[in-house]
Chain A
């Protein structure tokens, strides 16, 4: 093997030199390297430098951007110093779900029992990656769920759907929790299991899902509802609460009157802009050559006509399907 890295000699950080010089910020910069070896060497070097390096890392974790936060958490995982646990626990509340996920994994790798409580909270995160990371970390630390309800949260985090279903009614809170997941697949999965549980305790959660924004989720909720004792007759009204995407004819008409063409653009007609352009064009032209008053009196009825037309076609547009 030819060592290609020699070609990029200037760019590659010399970890040994940096370590010898105790250049902590240089090492933190080296964490950024795209080369995995350099990254882990830098992390190990930072670990060997003791508390001073640790402080610098923790400070950087609080200040820097998302990418460097991820790299620092990786470094902390590599160093495995229990002292980093409190700050990692704090990071479990980070706004970026990737950072939360990474922190959950790191806590599992370090394996301090004090991380258990915060990780259990993370099983209720709204992001499925964070839940997955927390679930596996808890298993790694050797946490045993004290009751079926907690067990359900753990299995939902691991996406072990069969095991969740076997738990029975105690799984309902864990399943309800993910009915707000961003991914419709996850929501569908939860609804299917709620249906299979055939329990009236699942009713409130299912009624809520009848108004889901996604049509497939709504359909699955309709199929699951009768199994949990919701009367079929109540379903149509349950669905009537779903977010409606129908455009308002009054707005379309008003827009078309004020700015001809924009009303059409509002109801999603791509040629609305074309009409808008033609209108501007014609108005400027008419102002210049036909006089102001004449222009107004010609354009006003025309605008009214366009407004009426936009109003009319919007009322005729079909209601978005159930």
Chain B
């Protein structure tokens, strides 16, 4: 007898809540542990009609991401134009990219002509999901590009690289703008296309690509640079200006001098901490032993230790230098 009831507790029945028009209850279910229930609650909220919009818009400020995602989904299926302003706010400035993405898609679902400017600026978002969502939403509202620039951003958002190549020179500006992209694979792709377009600005971007933190992007930049007319003899010099992404050689040396072992830890050697522990324990023990001659003698262990750590620091210096030179 109690068994089915337990099951019912685990998987709440959205139908009952829908019949009772218990919007708050449904909203609570949006953060349910069971994914399926979340989804059914979002769908049920979508059938509540325009009356629910104002309450849903208020919940949009909720700190819980699952609830906000569900509310955005519901607003997308209610399609009340009153929700546009709130969704545009999320799209423009929310820091969670998932929510911006969902907001872009929802604006496309509502499908009002006024949403186009917001979606166009979302095409320039830093997150690829948001850009992709904005491009798809623009398709949905029946938008067609008026300027070459918008068209270029649209294709970049869809990652339709062939179409961008066909745009030629007019894509240069948007492509350069997107070089700040977080994903190295996308930066590498952009550099390659810029190389095939050629010209003054792409050439500058290729030179900038030589200093990219990612090895693959630098390599593509080398290949593209020669096509853009950067003299081959300048390439090694350009590469040498890249940021050292690895650990600093001097940092490791200094750390090992003052805290023997921590420098190794900083360089990514797991046994660094082992050495650090041993070293510190020895120092503390020595200090306690010498404590009758306090306070001057507290420093005695260090006076003995520093020449020793200096030797290790020297070794660390050469080790770190060798490791940082390994990859171009």
Contacts and interface: CB of A to CB of B under 8 A. Distances in A.
B42 A281 contact: no
Interface stretch (B99-107, B163-171, B204-212, B220-228): B99-107
B55 interface: no
Interface in B105-138: 105-106, 108-109, 127-129, 132-133, 136
B73 A277 contact: no
B311 interface: no
A121 interface: no
B219 interface: no
A235 interface: yes
Interface string A247-274: 0000000000000000000000010011
Interface string A277-299: 10011001100110000000000
Interface residues of A, number: 27
B96 interface: yes
B39 A237 contact: yes
A234 B287 CA distance: 64
Given A233-B76, A289-B294, A240 B66 contact: yes
Interface stretch (B3-11, B14-22, B259-267): B259-267
A237 B42 contact: yes
A292 B76 CA distance: 64
Contacts of B276: 273, 277
Contacts of A284: 284, 287-288
B259 A277 contact: yes
Q: Which of the listed residues A233, A288, A322 has the most CB atoms from chain B within 10 Å of its own CB?
A: A233
B259 A274 contact: yes
A321 interface: yes
Interface in A46-70: none
B259 A219 contact: no
A219 B128 contact: yes
A232 B69 CA distance: 13
A237 B77 CA distance: 15
A319 interface: yes
A104 B126 CA distance: 48
B195 interface: no
B98 interface: yes
Contacts of A233: 73, 76-77, 102, 105-106, 109
Contacts of B321: none
B119 to A, nearest CB: 13
B97 interface: yes
A241 interface: yes
Contacts of B66: 237, 240
Contacts of B180: none
A232 B127 contact: no
Contacts of A235: 101, 105
Contacts of B283: 281
Nearest to A237: B69
A226 interface: yes
Given A237-B39, A237-B42, A281-B280, A273 B182 contact: no
Interface string A226-248: 10000011111101110000000
Identify whether the interface residues of A are mostly helix, strand, loop, or mixed. helix
A277 B98 contact: no
Interface string B302-323: 0000000000000000000000
Contacts of B108: 232
A240 B182 CA distance: 20
Contacts of B109: 233
A241 B35 contact: yes
A219 B42 CA distance: 23
B98 A236 contact: yes
A122 interface: no
Nearest to A270: B266
Contact of B262 (A239, A273, A280, A288): A273
Contacts of A222: 129, 132
Contacts of A270: 265-266
B69 A288 contact: no
A23 B70 CA distance: 73
Contacts of B176: none
B105 A232 contact: yes
Given A273-B273, A281-B280, A236 B262 contact: no
Contacts of B298: 285
B65 interface: yes
Nearest to B139: A232
A322 B129 CA distance: 8
B38 interface: yes
B240 interface: no
A91 to B, nearest CB: 36
Contacts of B273: 273
Contact of B96 (A223, A234, A319): A319
B232 interface: no
Contacts of B291: 288-289
Which of B35, B99, B295, B298 has the most A CB atoms < 10 Å from its CB? Answer: B35
A185 to B, nearest CB: 13
Interface of A: 219, 222-223, 226, 232-237, 239-241, 270, 273-274, 277, 280-281, 284-285, 288-289, 318-319, 321-322
27 contacts: A219-B129, A222-B129, A222-B132, A226-B136, A232-B133, A232-B136, A233-B73, A233-B102, A233-B106, A235-B105, A236-B69, A236-B73, A236-B98, A236-B101, A237-B70, A239-B98, A239-B129, A240-B98, A270-B266, A273-B265, A274-B259, A277-B262, A284-B287, A285-B298, A288-B291, A319-B96, A321-B97
Given A273-B262, A281-B284, 12 more contacts: A232-B133, A233-B105, A235-B101, A237-B38, A273-B265, A274-B255, A277-B280, A284-B284, A284-B287, A288-B291, A319-B96, A322-B97
